[in-house]
């Protein structure tokens, strides 16, 4: 099992007897692992739950978990829709792009993942509602495509999926479109990845890549 | 399986003449070999040739011979479309131009033997390099061949070639070379587009087709015209190859390249002779059946589906045929199934979309901006191309521009990419410096490649890289493999089209996608991802971990200090972290160790298990 420390932005692995041990006294811990529950975990901790308690990942009493959202499994990627016919990018969109990218970079430097995730989730719930609101597919496609084409002006590194995804979330929100910010993990070897998803539609990545990861945070 | 053998010698030297005569008698005594050309100083033999596919074409009153398949070009110079079935060969012109006209007026998959200068004989290999061509010398006789096992039977009474350890070290670092040297001492390769003249104690060579020169003649047409020309050229080449076979098996992965090929074969008179096969396995990228089905349905082609064999026994690679270079087996694990399906369908050929990545330009890199800057300078189009290239490379436009400017001051070939995690191979010297490559491991055309911009040079570099023709695992049972996307007209056209036009809009293979967009499902032409076999490769290795450990930890690479045994041991330990990070490299090392076992008498587990592969 992999834990994501939302305060310190670190991953921890728990495996074997430790998993069972934690099920005994941690509220909400998954039941005793069934055979072949994916993903199997690379153990990164000593054979004791004490370090998790010491790091504050497990606390006595009741904690404040982020509301658990379950997304449908990714079934489609918007890149498969091709390029939209009309591709305008006005001044306002530029403003949204630059502001969103700058704000996202600032947030990642100064805020915890917990705070960022709560903000994203709260904004989406307030504006879009908890249910799946129907989105005009053409507007979604043109907005995402416009972001993709313009992002090389503001993005500085191809490997910073966290920043890129958060920037897209901000951009979409400014355009009154609200999607989920997802962080996923995989093992063998361990890896973490972030992407943006609306329902079962992946907005900023390839379906084959996203499917390798299991969501650990959905905001 | 079409193969050839040729003997070239100096008839004035008695010992050479006698040796050639002995070898020639030995070959003639084997029923499968037919003498294609019998001249003083040159004997050429071929096996398994048949009308319509690989043939023997004598020219100019038996002064020379062309082996393989050759088509004529026709149409206007810009289009250079090949017409199938027009196989007229002006033998006189071929002799007069010493083979230059073979490249200028024809294309295909061929090797030619012609009279050379000063009593020599020349061997020419077509620019696609699809038909293998090697040579070595024994007792004064030059032996030119396509399949090394044939030579070993002819000269079985002489010492077999020895491993060239410096070449093998280069192979470990850089993969199979594009140059003339192989990993066996004294065994050399005729390069694609090369003419090698072999004579008494001499060997000279020159290029009859220069990909660097071809690529430097950039062709600027409007996008629509370029798209149309590309489509017509690819389709014509696919049709030409299809005309050589009664029934065809097409490996349809669901990716854009094989799908383009399917679209080309979905024509009247061809489609009902084609059956597609799709291989799938577990894993996020191992199952593309939905795409393959969509393509087959759209093109109205039959499709069969097979699961990849995760239970593949690695011990089989210890019995692979002996080859001039190690052969990586992972991509050939399905070859037995290919052979069985082809046999059941009576399909004589297996068509693949191999080479599409290179000709159509699929590189996740921002090179097209550098290419544009070198060819067009800082003009109005540079910004658009930089944005496209930034999208292609997944980086900012500012980094892209900076790299494009930096490339203008590059000298020599770009350094090979360095992998992100520590390799299992032990690098000689200072491993912090980019590895250097001996010239004999580099296609001679690339030695003048610094004149090309980086993107186009990379394309050339990959296009001159050898591609396999024979299957060392399955041998004669394998159908003939055909790669229509690597046909000379397609290669030449795509070399002339600038990389920034091949990727216009910031997508790899953008032009090819556009060319075939109306014939393929949108979900296929819009796909950015490629299928892969990462999980399958891991499964195969896990199922054969004990054998892999034995081969590598007790093998020659470790004993010679060419691999880091400590890292290898950790990678193959029970902890899965290192294992998964090195799966591909472990497979590669196993293939090399298995190859070494066939060539050395060193007592290793691999050598004890290896047996001669009998065709």
Strands A76-77 and A191-198 turn out to be unpaired
Contact B529 A83 (CB under 8 A): no
Whether A134 and chain B come into contact, CB under 8 Å, resolves to: no
C-alpha distance from A150 to closest chain B C-alpha (Å): 8
User: Encoding tokens for residue B295?
Assistant: 């393509």
Q: Cα separations (Å) of B246 from B53, B342, B478?
A: 10, 12, 16
Q: Please answer yes or no on whether A206 and B529 come within 8 Å at the CB atom.
A: yes
Task: Give the chain A residue nearest B535 (alpha carbons).
Answer: A188
- Testing the interface with B: which of A42, A208, A213 to mutate, by most B Cβ within 10 A? A208
Indicate the SS3 state at residue B184: strand
Picking from B395, B525, B538, the nearest residue to A157 by CB comes out as B395
| pLDDT < 70: residue spans in chain A | 17-18, 21, 23-50, 58-69, 85-88, 128-133, 157-159
pLDDT at B267: 85
Of the candidates A149, A158, A187, the beta carbon closest to that of B394 is on: A158
Which positions ≥6 away from B14 have C-beta within 8 Å? none
Question: Closest to A188 (Cβ–Cβ): which among B523, B532, B576?
Answer: B576
- Return the pLDDT at B447: 86
B305 has pLDDT over 60: yes
Give pLDDT, residue B66: 95
Question: Does A137 lie at the interface with B, CB-CB under 8 angstroms?
Answer: no
Beta carbons of A208 and B387 less than 8 Å apart: no
What is the predicted pLDDT for the residue at A200?
93
From A82, A152, A208, residue closest to B285, measured CB to CB: A208
Note whether A75 contacts B: Cβ–Cβ < 8 A. no
| pLDDT 10s digits, B191-244 | 999 999 998 877 899 999 999 999 998 888 888 999 999 999 999 999 999 999
Is A188 close to B506, i.e. CB distance below 8 A?
A: no
Closest CB from B387, B505, B529 relative to A208: B529
Interchain proximity A149–B506, CB inside 8 Å: yes
CB distance B413 to B450 below 8 Å: yes
Sheet containing B121-125, strands listed edge to edge, beginning at the edge strand earlier in sequence: B55-59, B64-72, B106-115, B121-125, B194-199, B202-207
Rounded Cα distance, B275 and B259, in Å? 13
Q: Does A176 touch chain B (CB under 8 A)?
A: no
- Is residue A212 within 8 angstroms of chain B, CB to CB? yes
CA terminus-to-terminus distance, chain A: 20
- Residues in B closer than 8 angstroms to A149, CB to CB, are 387, 391, 506
Minimum CA–CA partner of B531 in chain A? A208
Q: Does A208 sit within 8 Å of B505, measured CB to CB?
A: no
Share of chain B above pLDDT 90, in %: 66
The minimal CB distance from A189 to the residues B398, B529, B581 is found for B581
pLDDT digits (tens, 9 = 90+) for B596-610: 998 886 555 565 555
Q: Is A38 on the interface with B (CB under 8 A)?
A: no
pLDDT digits (tens, 9 = 90+) for B539-570: 899 899 999 999 999 999 999 989 998 888 88
Nearest residue in B to A206, CA atom: B529
Tell me the whole-structure pTM to 2 decimals: 0.89
**Residue B296 scores a pLDDT above 60:** yes
pLDDT band at B58 (very low <50, low <70, confident <90, very high): very high
Cα–Cα distance between B211 and B488 in angstroms, integer?
11
Q: What is the mean pLDDT of chain B?
A: 88
Cβ pair B528:A156 closer than 8 A: no
Q: Evaluate whether B8 touches B144 at the Cβ level (below 8 Å).
A: yes
Cβ within 8 Å of residue B590, ≥6 positions away: B314, B317, B548, B551, B552
Does A118 lie at the interface with B, CB-CB under 8 angstroms? no
**Whole-number pLDDT of residue A37:** 41
Q: How far is B519 from chain A (nearest CA, A)?
A: 15
Give the residue carrying structure tokens 């049972």.
B477
Percent of chain B topping pLDDT 70: 90
β-strand B302-307 against B202-207: which pairing, if any? unpaired
Please tell me which of the candidates B396, B531, B581 has its beta carbon nearest to residue A155.
Answer: B396
- Which residues of chain B lie closer than 8 angstroms to A152, CB-CB? 387, 390-391, 395-397, 400
A154 contacts on B by Cβ (under 8 Å): 396
Closest CA relative to residue B99, chosen from B146, B59, B142? B59
**Across residues B77-92, what is the average pLDDT?**
56
Average pLDDT value for residue range B122-147: 95
| Residues of chain B positioned with their CB less than 8 A from the CB of A157 | 395-396
Contact A152 B396 (CB under 8 A): yes
Burial of residue B458 (number of CB atoms within 10 Å: 0-12, 13-18, 19+) = buried
- Chain A residue with Cα closest to B521: A80
Question: Which residues contact residue B291 at a Cβ distance below 8 angstroms, ignoring those fewer than 6 apart?
Answer: B253, B254, B255, B259, B521, B523, B524, B527
Contact B615, B477 (CB under 8 A): no
Q: Which of B177, B520, B504 is nearest to B325 (CA)?
A: B177
Residues of A in contact with B577 (CB under 8 A): 42, 188-190
Q: Give how far B284 is from chain A: nearest CA, Å.
A: 5
Q: How confident is the model at residue B146 (pLDDT cuts 50, 70, 90)?
A: very high
> Number of A:B CB contacts under 8 A?
64
Chain B: residues touching A (Cβ < 8 Å): 284-285, 387, 390-391, 393-400, 505-506, 522-523, 525-529, 531-532, 538, 576-577, 580-581
CB-CB: which of A79, A83, A152 is closest to B387? A152
Cβ separation of A42 and B522 shorter than 8 Å? no
Q: Is the pLDDT of residue B312 over 50?
A: yes
Question: Mean per-residue pLDDT for B571-578?
Answer: 67
How many CB atoms sit inside 10 A of residue A58's CB?
Answer: 18
- The secondary structure of B208-236 as a DSSP string is SS-HHHHHTS-----HHHHHHHHHHHHHH
- In chain B, which residues have their Cβ closer than 8 Å to the Cβ of A105? none
Three-class SS of residue A144? helix
Query: pLDDT grade, residue B417 (50/70/90)?
Result: low
């Amino acid at each position: 099992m992999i834990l994501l420390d939302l305060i310190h932005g670190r991953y921890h692995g728990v495996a074997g007897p430790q998993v069972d041990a934690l099920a005994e006294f941690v509220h909400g811990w998954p039941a005793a692992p069934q055979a072949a529950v994916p993903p199997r975990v690379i153990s990164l901790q000593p054979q004791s739950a004490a370090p998790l308690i010491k790091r504050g990942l497990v606390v006595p009493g009741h904690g404040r978990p982020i509301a658990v959202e379950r997304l449908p499994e990714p079934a489609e990627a918007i890149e498969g829709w091709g390029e939209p016919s009309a591709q305008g990018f006005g001044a306002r969109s530029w403003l949204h792009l630059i502001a969103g990218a700058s704000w996202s970079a600032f947030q990642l430097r100064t805020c915890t993942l917990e705070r960022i995730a709560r903000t994203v989730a709260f904004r989406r719930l307030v504006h879009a509602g908890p249910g799946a609101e129907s989105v005009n597919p053409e507007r979604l496609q043109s907005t995402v495509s416009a972001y993709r084409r313009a992002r090389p002006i503001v993005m500085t590194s191809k490997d910073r999926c966290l920043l890129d995804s958060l920037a897209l979330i901000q951009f979409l929100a400014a355009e009154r479109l609200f999607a989920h910010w997802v962080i996923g993990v995989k093992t063998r070897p361990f890896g973490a990845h972030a992407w943006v998803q609306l329902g079962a539609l992946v907005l900023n990545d390839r379906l084959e890549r996203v499917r390798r990861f299991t969501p650990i945070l959905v905001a | 399986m079409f193969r050839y053998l040729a003997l070239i010698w100096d008839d004035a030297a008695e010992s050479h003449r006698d040796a050639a005569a002995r070898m020639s008698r030995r070959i003639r005594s084997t029923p499968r070999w037919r003498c294609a050309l019998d001249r003083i100083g040159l004997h050429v033999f071929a096996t398994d040739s048949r009308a319509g596919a690989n043939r023997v074409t004598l020219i100019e009153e038996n002064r020379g011979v062309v082996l393989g398949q050759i088509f004529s070009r026709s149409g206007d110079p810009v289009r250079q479309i090949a017409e199938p079935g027009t196989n007229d060969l002006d033998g006189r012109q071929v002799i007069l131009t010493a083979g230059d006209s073979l490249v200028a007026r024809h294309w295909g998959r061929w090797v030619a033997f012609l009279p050379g200068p000063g009593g020599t004989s020349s061997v020419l290999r077509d620019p696609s390099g699809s038909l293998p061509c090697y040579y070595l010398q024994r007792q004064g006789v030059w032996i030119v061949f396509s399949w090394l096992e044939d030579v070993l039977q002819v000269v079985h009474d002489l010492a077999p070639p020895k491993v060239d350890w410096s070449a093998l070290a280069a192979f470990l670092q850089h993969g199979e070379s594009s140059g003339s040297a192989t990993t066996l001492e004294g065994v050399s390769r005729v390069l694609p587009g090369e003419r090698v003249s072999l004579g008494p104690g001499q060997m000279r060579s020159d290029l009859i087709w220069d990909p660097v020169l071809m690529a430097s003649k950039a062709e600027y047409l409007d996008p629509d015209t370029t798209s149309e020309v590309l489509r017509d050229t690819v389709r014509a080449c696919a049709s030409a190859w299809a005309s050589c076979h009664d029934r065809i098996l097409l490996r349809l992965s669901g990716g854009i390249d094989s799908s383009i090929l399917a679209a080309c074969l979905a024509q009247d008179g061809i489609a009902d002779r084609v059956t597609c096969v799709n291989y799938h396995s577990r894993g996020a990228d191992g199952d593309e059946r939905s795409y393959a089905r969509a393509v087959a349905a759209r093109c109205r082609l039959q499709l069969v589906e097979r699961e990849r064999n995760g239970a593949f026994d690695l011990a089989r690679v210890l019995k692979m045929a002996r080859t001039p270079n190690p052969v990586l087996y992972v991509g050939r694990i399905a070859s037995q199934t290919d052979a069985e399906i082809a046999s059941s369908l009576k399909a004589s050929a297996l068509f693949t979309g191999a080479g599409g990545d290179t000709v159509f330009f699929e590189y996740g890199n921002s090179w097209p901006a550098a290419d544009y800057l070198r060819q067009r300078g800082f003009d109005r189009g540079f910004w658009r191309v930089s944005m496209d290239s930034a999208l292609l490379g997944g980086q900012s436009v500012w980094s892209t521009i900076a790299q494009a400017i930096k490339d203008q001051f590059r000298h020599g070939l770009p350094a090979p990419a360095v992998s992100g995690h520590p390799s299992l191979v032990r690098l000689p010297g200072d491993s912090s410096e980019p590895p250097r490559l001996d010239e004999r491991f580099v296609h001679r055309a690339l030695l003048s490649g610094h004149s090309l911009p980086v993107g186009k040079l990379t394309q050339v570099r990959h296009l001159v890289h050898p591609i396999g023709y024979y299957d060392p695992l399955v041998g004669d049972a394998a159908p003939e493999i055909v790669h229509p996307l690597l046909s000379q007209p397609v290669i030449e056209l795509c070399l002339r089209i600038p990389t920034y036009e091949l990727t216009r809009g910031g997508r790899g293979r953008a032009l090819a996608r556009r060319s075939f967009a109306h014939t393929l499902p949108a979900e296929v032409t819009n796909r950015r991802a490629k299928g892969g076999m990462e999980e399958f490769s891991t499964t195969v290795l896990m199922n054969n971990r004990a054998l892999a450990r034995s081969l590598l930890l007790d093998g020659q690479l470790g004993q010679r200090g060419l691999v880091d045994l400590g890292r290898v041991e950790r990678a193959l330990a029970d902890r899965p972290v290192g294992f998964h990070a090195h799966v591909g490299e472990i497979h590669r090392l196993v293939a090399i160790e298995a190859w070494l076992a066939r060539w050395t008498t060193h007592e290793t587990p691999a050598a004890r298990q290896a047996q001669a592969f009998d065709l």
